[in-house]
Structure 1
Amino acid sequence: MLTHKTFFEGQVQSIGFERNGRRQTAGVVDVGEFHFGTEAPERMTVVSGELWARLPGEAGFRAFPAGTCFEIPGRSGFDVKATAPAAYVCEFL
C-alpha cells in the first residue's frame, strides 16, 4: 500500500511504501529550508539534484549531490535545504 504525505505547505512531498520488509519513502524537496524529526534511524539517498543537510551535532550544512547519502540517528532531527527541486529515497533502518 502506498501512502502520500505532504509537508511544509506542499514544498516537500513523499510516497511511502514497504519493500523486502523495510519501510521507505521516495519524495521531492522544493526550494527552501526544512527541519525534520526522526523516530527511527534513517538513510537519505539523493537521487536527483542536490540537498544540503545539517546533521545532528554539526554546525553547518554539507552538500549531498545525486548519488550520495547520509544517515540520521533515531530520536533526533536534521535540517535540509534545496536551491532547486531535488528527489530522494529515505530508508528506515
Structure 2
Amino acid sequence: MFKTNEYFDGKVKSIAFETAEGRATVGVMAQGEYEFGTSTVEYMTVISGQMDVMLPGESTWKTYKEFETYIVPKDVKFKVRVNGDTAYRCLYK
C-alpha cells in the first residue's frame, strides 16, 4: 500500500511505493530552499520544473531540469532550491 509523507510544513509532499527497482517516492516541492538527509543512496529525477542542488562537498549550485537525474550518496545532507512547484521521483538503493 502507499504511504504519504509531508515535510517542511506541507511544502514538500510525497507518496512512497515499491517498484521493480526497489522503494521509491514521487513528490512535489513548493517554491523554497530545503535541506534533506539520506540513509540510502538516492537517485533523484526531476519530473516537472527544475531543481537547483548543492551536493555534499560542493560549493556551487547545479541546476537539474525535467528528466535529469542526480545521485546523492548515503548518510549525507544536501540542499535543494526550487523557484516554483516542482515534481520529482526518488529511487532508494
Q: TM-score, normalised by structure 1?
A: 0.97
Query: Match for 1:48: what amino acid?
Result: S
Query: What are the ranges of 5 or more consecutive residues in structure 1 without an aligned counterpart?
Result: none
Task: Render the CA deviation track for 1:31-67: whole Å, top value 9, x for unaligned.
Answer: 0000000000000000100011001110121100101
- Shift of the alpha carbon at 1:20? 1.7
The residue number in structure 1 matching 2:59 is 59
Counterparts of 1:27 and 1:73 in 2: how far apart (Å)?
20
Q: List, as ranges, runs of 4+ consecutive aligned residues in structure 1 with deviation greater than 2 Å.
A: none
RMSD: 0.8
Counterparts of 1:68 and 1:49 in 2: how far apart (Å)?
11
Give the number of equivalent residue pairs: 93
The residue number in structure 2 matching 1:73 is 73
Secondary structure of the corresponding residue to residue 57 of structure 2: coil
Distance change in 2, residues 1:21/1:10 (3 Å): same
Q: Is structure 2 residue 36 aligned with structure 1 residue 26?
A: no
The residue number in structure 2 matching 1:6 is 6
Task: Render the CA deviation track for 1:1-53: whole Å, top value 9, x for unaligned.
Answer: 10000000000000000112600000001000000000000000001000110
The residue number in structure 1 matching 2:92 is 92
Counterparts of 1:79 and 1:90 in 2: how far apart (Å)?
15
Q: Which has the higher strand share?
A: 1
Task: Tell me which moved more, 38-47 or 16-25.
Answer: 16-25
Query: What are the ranges of 5 or more consecutive residues in structure 2 without an aligned counterpart?
Result: none
Counterparts of 1:68 and 1:19 in 2: how far apart (Å)?
19
